[in-house]
Structure formats: structure tokens, C-alpha cells
């Protein structure tokens, strides 16, 4: 060990699905990328309902041990960080317990299944004084962070308009199984909470707070085959004509117009029924002095237009993010070597531990998660009443 070895911080991870894998990767890789690292996350305990699954996950993901009861993690005095990567309906209970036990918390998105739950979670972490973060990871894509920097520096002028989409097709096939993501009691909502919230987060990150929404929500597929296993399986993998069917009670598509506090307007469309779109998170921003365009499916790139360029060579620049851009020094030595999903999680992990170690705050946090939940409420209400709806303010609950 060298004298400037970062401190080791023990992590307990709850949930060994797709997100558990992504978070485990980030704990292992964060110091490799960010050096000196704010801390050395140590993978101590992973919890899964089934003890065999938990033990296997511990080997696979490099944890010291696997446990079947997540409360073992809460009760472990050697664990400083609790990572919640479970289905949405368990976030509140776990997070509140973790906060009361004084743990710092990284929670997957959406924060909760309702704004009421989200508010209680926020109150708990504020009362406990712990570091809290909600894992809207996409804003950590270097190209999106670059967009934020350019906007902050005024390089595209005042923002007039934001158009965002999140289009997927993994639920377009009616034969896809009825996973928890299609059940309101577990997921809280469908496309809205699952993916539209990522774009809401990006919109708030880039343009600021949203004051009004004006939305339509659609429900295309009303029943799906019951799933045999409990896995978090995406897409249509099991086609069994005889499988009993269960009701889908969440939305498939949401479209909303937006008004931002600063006067800008915008729109968001999210669907999981858009054939041919995989992880199509896009936005386009028009400012008074330029424009910015992004598509996560080509996430190494940010397209930027400056009206100040000479008239004969003016056009969107396709910028490949690299060492010259946010977090670029930590990632790969040249642009286009390849930003993957993992990198967004590695940067998220870094920023979280930076806050843990310095006692600071990090965004997006439970406040952001709560505000996003209030925006979700307004979208649902607007869709039902077919009119523009003002977003309820988080108000005094939130201390920034």
C-alpha cells in the first residue's frame, strides 16, 4: 500500500439482477478509471432472496458474502454504503431503514412507486444526514455532461426548446412475459417511471425545473403471459401458447409537452413499443445562439451547432467525447475508443463516493427523485384531464 491509498468503504448491495451486475462492475472499476480514487469501494455483502442465488452472486460479482435477508446489510456496522437495486416497490422500505441506520444510499430509479413514498424517503435521508443518490445514470454519459457544460457556459445562448425521446421496443411483442415491470403494484407505473423519468432527469439537468406538463398516455397491450421464473427478463423470450395470461395495468407510451421555469418549452416522448428502437434516448435543444443534438444509441457523439460559425462552414459538429470532455481524463485515452453502459455507472459511482468521502451532496439525489415523482403525478393528471397541469413544488420539504 502506498501512502496515498484511498480509504476502503464497505458496500452492501441489495439485488443481483441486471442492475446488481452493473453496480458491481462500477465498484471494481471505479478506481481503475479515477485515480487517485476518492475511495476504494469494497464489495462486502450482496443480498438476494434465495440464499443459493445470493452466494453464487457473491462469487460472480466479487462480494465477500451473500445473504438472503437484506436487513443483514442494514444491521452490519461495517457497511457504510447501501446500494438498492431491487424492484421499485421495495425501495422505500429499504432506503428508510438504511437511512435510519446511518448508511449512505445509492438507489436505483425510479426512486419509488409514488411521490408519497419518495417524499418519505427524502425525509428519512435528510433527517439522517446521509449521502443519497438516485441512479439516473444517463446524465453521466460524457456527451450529455458536455451538453450541460456548453449550456452553462452560454455557448448556445438562451435555451428555447428541448425535445427528448426514450424509445425502446422490448415490450412491443405481446408475447413477452408479464415481468414486474408491467405490474403497477410493483413498478408504480410503466413506461413513465421506467424510462420517461430518465428523460425528465436529463431535461432538468440541462434546462432546469419543469413547471407545467401537458400529456397523453397510451396503453397498447392489456395482457401478457404469466412469467414462470422471477427473473428481470426483458423482451419476448418465452412463447407458450398455453401460458395463462395476466393483466398489464401500466402505460405503454407517454407523450408530454413541457414548460420550464426559465421560459423554455419542450416535449418528451417515451415508449417501449417503438419497433426498431433499442435504447433511443435522444434530445435536441435549440438556443438563441446554437443547437445541441444527442442520441444515446451513438453515445460517443454530441452534435453541436454554433450560429457564430462562418456562413460557408456552418453545420452541426459531430464531437466524439474523449480526454477533452467531462470525466474524459478518467476514461479512455482517445475519443471513440468506446463509451459503454458501464462507464455511465463508473462515473456515477465516482461522484457518489466523492460525496461520501467529502460529506458533500451529489446529484441526482432523493430530492431530484422526489421532484421527478411529482412531475410523474402531473403527467398522469394531465393525461386524465386532457389539459395542462402545473407541477406541484417540492416546497419546504426540500432543503438544498
| Closest separation in Å from C-beta 334 to a copy of itself | 5
Rank residues 103 and 286 by Cβ distance to a copy of itself and give the closer one. 286
CB of 107 to a copy of itself, least distance (A): 20
Is residue 47 within 8 A of residue 54, CB to CB? The reply is yes
Q: Which is nearer to a copy of itself, 33 or 352 (CB)?
A: 33
Positive or negative: CA dihedral 275, 276, 279, 283:
negative
User: According to CB under 8 A, which one of 230, 275, 384, 397 is a site residue for a copy of itself?
Assistant: 275
Q: Are 244 and 225 in contact (CB under 8 A)?
A: yes
All three cell numbers of 372, joined, read 421527478
Least CB distance to a copy of itself at residue 346 (A): 9
Quick note: the x/- pattern for a copy of itself over 153-172, rule CB under 8 A, is --xx---xx-x-x-xxxx-x
Q: Are strands 210-218 and 389-390 parallel, antiparallel or unpaired?
A: antiparallel
Give SS3 for 225: strand
Is-contact 388 213, C-beta < 8 A? yes
Comparing CB distances to a copy of itself, the nearer of 119 and 140 is: 140
Taking alpha carbons only, the member of 84, 198, 122, 138 closest to residue 365 is 122
* Contacting a copy of itself within 371-400 (CB under 8 A): 386-388
What number of chain residues touch a copy of itself (CB under 8 A)? 114
- Binding to a copy of itself in span 99-158, by CB under 8 A: 146, 149-150, 155-156
> Counting contacts by CB under 8 A, is residue 62 touching a copy of itself?
yes
The DSSP secondary structure of 255-306, one letter per residue, reads: EEEEEETTS-EEEEEEES--TT-SSEEEEEEEESSEEEEEEGGGTTEEEEEE
Residue 152 has a CB neighbour count (10 Å cut-off) of 9
Residue closest to 348 by CA, chosen among 83, 60, 99: 83
| β-strand pairing of 159-167 with 245-247 | unpaired
We find the least distance from the C-beta atom of residue 186 to a copy of itself, in angstroms, to be 18
Shortest Å, Cβ 283 to a copy of itself: 13
CA gap 385, 392 in Å, rounded:
16
Out of 97, 101, 186, 234, name the contact with a copy of itself by CB under 8 A. Answer: 234
Distance of CA 294 to the CA centre of its chain: 17
Please, which residue, 55 or 72, has the CB nearer to a copy of itself?
A: 55
Closest to a copy of itself by CB, 25 vs 131, is 25
- Return the range that interacts with a copy of itself (CB under 8 A); candidates 48-56, 100-108, 118-126, 347-355: 48-56
Q: What character string, x for contact with a copy of itself (CB under 8 A) and - otherwise, covers 278-317?
A: xxx---x-xxxxxx-x--xxxxxx-xxxxx-x-xxxxxxx
| CB of residue 124 to a copy of itself, shortest distance in Å | 31
Cβ 380 to a copy of itself, closest distance in Å? 15
- Our finding on whether 339 is near a copy of itself (CB under 8 A) is yes
φ/ψ (deg, to 5) at 291 = -140, 160
Please identify which residue in 184, 259, 357, 398 interacts with a copy of itself, judged by CB under 8 A: 259
227 contacts a copy of itself (rule: CB under 8 A) = no
Amino acid at each position: 500500500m502506498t501512502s496515498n491509498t484511498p480509504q476502503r468503504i464497505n458496500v452492501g448491495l441489495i439485488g443481483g439482477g441486471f442492475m446488481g451486475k452493473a453496480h458491481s462492475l462500477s465498484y471494481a472499476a471505479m478506481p481503475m478509471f479515477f485515480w487517485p480514487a476518492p475511495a476504494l469501494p469494497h464489495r462486502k455483502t450482496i443480498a438476494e432472496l434465495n440464499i443459493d442465488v445470493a452466494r453464487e452472486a457473491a462469487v460472480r460479482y466479487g462480494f465477500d458474502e451473500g445473504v438472503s435477508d437484506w436487513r443483514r446489510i442494514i444491521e452490519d456496522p461495517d457497511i457504510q454504503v447501501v446500494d438498492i437495486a431491487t424492484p421499485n416497490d421495495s425501495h422505500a422500505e429499504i432506503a428508510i431503514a438504511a437511512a435510519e441506520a446511518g448508511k449512505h444510499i445509492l438507489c436505483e430509479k425510479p426512486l419509488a412507486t409514488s411521490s408519497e413514498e419518495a417524499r418519505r424517503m427524502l425525509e428519512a435521508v435528510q433527517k439522517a444526514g446521509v449521502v443519497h443518490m438516485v441512479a439516473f445514470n444517463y446524465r453521466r454519459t460524457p456527451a450529455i455532461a458536455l451538453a450541460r457544460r456548453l449550456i452553462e457556459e452560454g455557448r448556445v445562448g438562451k435555451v428555447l426548446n428541448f425535445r427528448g425521446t426514450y424509445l425502446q421496443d422490448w415490450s412491443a411483442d405481446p408475447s413477452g412475459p408479464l415481468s414486474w415491470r408491467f405490474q403497477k403494484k410493483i413498478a408504480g407505473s410503466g413506461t413513465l417511471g421506467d424510462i420517461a423519468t430518465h428523460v425528465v432527469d436529463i431535461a432538468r439537468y440541462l434546462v432546469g425545473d419543469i413547471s407545467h406538463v401537458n400529456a397523453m398516455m397510451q396503453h397498447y397491450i392489456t395482457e401478457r403471459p404469466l412469467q414462470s421464473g422471477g427473473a428481470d427478463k426483458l423482451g419476448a423470450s418465452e412463447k407458450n401458447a398455453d401460458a395463462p395470461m395476466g393483466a398489464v395495468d401500466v402505460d405503454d407510451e407517454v407523450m408530454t409537452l413541457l414548460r420550464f421555469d426559465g421560459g423554455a418549452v419542450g416535449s418528451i416522448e417515451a415508449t417501449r413499443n417503438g419497433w426498431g428502437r433499442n435504447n433511443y434516448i435522444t434530445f435536441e435543444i435549440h438556443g438563441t445562439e446554437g443547437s445541441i443534438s444527442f442520441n444515446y444509441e451513438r453515445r460517443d457523439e454530441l452534435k453541436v451547432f454554433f450560429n457564430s460559425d462562418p456562413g460557408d462552414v456552418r453545420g452541426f459538429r459531430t464531437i466524439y467525447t474523449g480526454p477533452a470532455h467531462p470525466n474524459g481524463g478518467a476514461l479512455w485515452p482517445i475519443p471513440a475508443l468506446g463509451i459503454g453502459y458501464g462507464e455511465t455507472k463508473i462515473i456515477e459511482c465516482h461522484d457518489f463516493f466523492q460525496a461520501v468521502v467529502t460529506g458533500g451532496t451529489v446529484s441526482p439525489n432523493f430530492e431530484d427523485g422526489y421532484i421527478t415523482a411529482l412531475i410523474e403525478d402531473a403527467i398522469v393528471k394531465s393525461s386524465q384531464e386532457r389539459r395542462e397541469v402545473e407541477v406541484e413544488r417540492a416546497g419546504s420539504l426540500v432543503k438544498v
